[in-house]
Amino acid sequence: MMITPISETNNEKMTIEDMIASVQQGDITMQNYLLHAYQPFIAKCVSEVCKRYIDRRDDEFSIGLSGFNEAILHYSSHKGCSFFAFAQLVVKRKVIDYIRSIQSTMIVTSLDEKYDDEQVENTNEIIVATNFYMEQQESWQRKEEVKDFSEQLKAYKLSLMELAEVSPKHRDARESAIQIARTIYNEPKLRDYVIEKKKLPIRDLLKIVKVSKKTLERNRKYILAIFIVLNEGYVYLNDYLKGTGL
């Protein structure tokens, strides 16, 4: 599936549900934007199934991309689940079906596979086994996310150990730094600057945030680390940011 990258959009102020609604009404530009912007998320979902690192060159990634596109077209917020939870299942199903089609001897189990009473004697055992499998998958994904995050930090001349040392001690300071990182991520020009230069646009930030230059410089490394989390679309590390209430 070919995707046209979009460099400048007004999507930063829209929720994911708004974007999806726009696509379902025929907005091809928005569809291309979503397929481009969430490629890291797609790659991680596919990697979970394949148990190896997946990038855009792999056939499995193309299958996952197709699944993500299907999720966009068929998602409904009225069904009571988040889009990303729904998309993750659709992407995995597509990849699992693809693997089964090319390698029939491979045993792959879907997370939401259904069993009926005639096939199993003890439903509780199936529940326990499925929960155990899900825990293993989640643990593996968390490790992969941290590993990838560590590699991304290196590009900014940072490390996990260093990050632990420079993280703001007070909650207010952490929340302020996270909000600044969100501001950078949501402003295309600031985002592109950080990605290219691997440093904070201090001068431009001082015009739009209510903190001093000294504070920005003191929390520079932490802000950059949070920006990486946002920009790479990490699922579990983003859960931490949601927990801050921001």
pLDDT grade, residue 213 (50/70/90)?
very high
At 8 the pLDDT is 44
List, for residues 86-122, the tens digit of each pLDDT value. Answer: 888 888 888 888 887 776 544 444 444 443 443 334 4
Higher pLDDT among residues 194 and 239, named by residue? 194
- Cα–Cα separations (whole angstroms), residue 64 to 1, 186, 232: 10, 26, 17
> Computed from CA positions of residues 28, 76, 86, 191, in that sequence, does the dihedral angle turn out positive or negative?
positive
Assess contact for 142 and 236: CB atoms under 8 A. Answer: yes
- How far apart CA 81 and CA 172 sit, in angstroms, is 31
Specify whether domain 12-109 bears CATH 1.10.3720.10. Answer: no
Percent of the chain past pLDDT 70, that is, above it, reads 76
List, for residues 22-64, the tens digit of each pLDDT value. Answer: 999 999 999 999 999 999 999 888 888 888 888 788 888 999 9
- How far apart CA 223 and CA 220 sit, in angstroms, is 5
At 179 the pLDDT is 92
Domain with CATH 1.10.1740.10 in the chain: 12-109
- Cα–Cα separations (whole angstroms), residue 174 to 22, 33, 162, 231, 245: 34, 31, 16, 18, 12
Cβ neighbours of residue 57 under 8 Å, at least 6 residues apart? none
Is the pLDDT at 176 greater than 60? The verdict is yes
List, for residues 78-94, the tens digit of each pLDDT value. Answer: 766 788 888 888 888 88
**12: closest CA among 183, 215, 220?**
183
Assess contact for 46 and 60: CB atoms under 8 A. Answer: yes
3-state class (DSSP) for residue 76: coil
